[in-house]
């Protein structure tokens, strides 16, 4: 024998505070819980390696010329949710006479950082070396914002050289991963 319990809200027994709600679509809303998670990973390699990114060179600086390394489409369940973006990836920058790279996060092709220093980037890697030193390594950045909608949004991690005459390269062995969490508030 089975039973069905239909509720839209569960409260704590002492104060009557809402601990959990269930909307008409059956979606559970419990503050602080992860509602959903989306992940996009790409592999990197040299030419003819069969990797997702093969010997990609990004040569122009600024967000308008940035290379979209990872993209996630997500439809928030609740408009007041926090969206947490975390990116980790491997790339190297041309360090000849100093060079660097900006890491941008965008939502529907608009920069999520509107007041974040002179470049409005979520991450920045730079070498002031005056020698022929390239920097190759694993980098990461994260950022959170309020969803503000329950329709699909396209989130991207985009990379561009800091200097117009320096390149950023995605090659050799490694990965780039963008992870996006929706967290109920």
Q: What is the pLDDT of residues 104-124, one digit of tens each?
A: 999 999 999 988 667 789 988
83 in a structural domain = yes
Number of residues in the chain: 185
Q: Residue 41: which CATH number?
A: 2.60.120.1340
7 in a structural domain = no
11 in a structural domain = no
Q: Cα torsion for 127, 131, 137, 141, to the nearest 10°?
A: 10
Q: Give backbone dihedrals phi and psi of 117, rounded to 5 degrees, phi first.
A: 95, -170
22 in a structural domain = no
Nearest in space to 96 (alpha carbons), one of 134, 64, 69: 134
Q: What is the number of domains present in the chain?
A: 1
18 in a structural domain = no
6 in a structural domain = no
pLDDT in tens, 16-27: 888 888 888 888
151 in a structural domain = yes
125 in a structural domain = yes
* CB 71 within 8 Å of CB 131: no
Domain extent at residue 127: 30-183
pLDDT in tens, 50-106: 999 998 999 888 899 999 999 999 999 999 999 999 999 998 887 776 788 999 999
Per-residue pLDDT at 26: 82
* 121/141 Cα distance (integer angstroms): 10
């Amino acid at each position: 024998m089975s039973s069905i319990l239909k509720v839209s809200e569960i409260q704590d027994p002492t104060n009557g505070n809402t601990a959990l709600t269930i909307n008409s679509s059956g979606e559970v809303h419990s503050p602080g819980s992860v509602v959903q998670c989306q992940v996009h990973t790409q592999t990197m390699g040299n030419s003819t390696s069969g990797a997702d990114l093969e010997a990609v060179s990004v040569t122009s600086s600024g967000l308008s010329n940035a290379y979209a390394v990872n993209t996630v489409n997500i439809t928030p369940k609740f408009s007041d949710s926090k969206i947490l973006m975390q990116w980790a990836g491997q790339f190297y920058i041309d360090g000849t006479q100093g060079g660097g790279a900006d890491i941008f996060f965008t939502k529907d092709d608009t920069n999520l950082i509107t007041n974040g220093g002179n470049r409005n980037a979520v991450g920045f890697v730079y070498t002031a070396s005056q020698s022929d030193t390239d920097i190759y390594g694993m980098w990461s950045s994260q950022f959170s914002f309020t969803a503000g909608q329950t329709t699909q949004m396209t989130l991207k991690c985009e990379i561009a050289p800091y200097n117009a005459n320096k390149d950023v390269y995605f090659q050799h062995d490694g990965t780039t991963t963008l992870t996006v969490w929706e967290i109920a508030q």
